[in-house]
A and B are shown apart, each in its own frame.
Chain A
């Protein structure tokens, strides 16, 4: 299940481009937590994804990169059926631990596959405490002791506890943008998901907050499987074990991050990561 044996090279935070031979295979030896097979996604008649197949390895960070409009966010939203909330439709198969997500009730699925959005979106009418507790509270947990424990654990995991422990009763909107985003991460962790999807979680934040979020992502993969969409290639290189490159709704290439950033197989990938992309 959740193996925590981390390969030594993924221990390194910043990719070392100069060292190491590229691994020949793009696929990982770890068990796949989520598998996408021939996923097509539509908004009305517009096709946003074309036959995307990839695996998200357990306890690893998968970064999804690509230019705007390439379908990377749409793909992420297919993984927890948020795509249909926005009125889209999906074809193909997505498996979570081998079970099709369409066979899992959407609400239950989203408790197992959580999501953090681009713009921090704490619930504006709730305190910091209530924001983190919301997922449990609205699902019938009212034991205050239990809630307080979970809130503290999740805020610690999100590296926010020390900054807000004296102001848990204050509005979730009263803290800074970076803190709000970490609050949203804590809120997501509170329902104890297995997979955490992040849709450009740091794109609205300053560099310092971004560094904190990246550090956090790195720590979270011990307990969670993570897929992160990012515009920032340095970020993908820093935080991820695997990288997938999307272009015009198609998966062009997926492989170990180090290999994708040093010796990609496809010309398009190389052009994009070297900034030659038109």
Chain B
């Protein structure tokens, strides 16, 4: 069993990527469990996923990297015992710190074969985010095993290069790939990276 954590700021495209990845795994006859966390009292993503034909376990009203850390560990143990999936994909809130989630997976005693963080960057609001919350953004990205620069369809090649260059200078050791969940660009490569 492998665990993937989708880390990225609010609106970066985590839920959309989650659905695309889940579809890819299901097409390959793998059992996938989706765990979705939202900070508000009510969850919207669960309803969205259901409307799109996916079943997801929702953990609303807090953050699984901190205030809901125990809830996350219980949910993981239940998923392991009840479903025993091939893949668990966790979508924390856009305000979570993914490396903390990874640590909680490690100590939850579900013993995955691997646990990886996929960092997701929003091309469109990159400048605003760096300007206003640069340090927090770096903390979100620093535990990533690889980083996806999403919404490439909304940026010209030069702009994409600028962002990738910035990311490479900050995180030189991390593989970087530009994608568009909307158009499907490079999602096959993401799947290969995950395997």
Are the chains A and B members of one assembly?
no
* Chain B positions near chain A (C-beta within 8 angstroms): none
Q: Which residues of A contact B (CB under 8 A)?
A: none
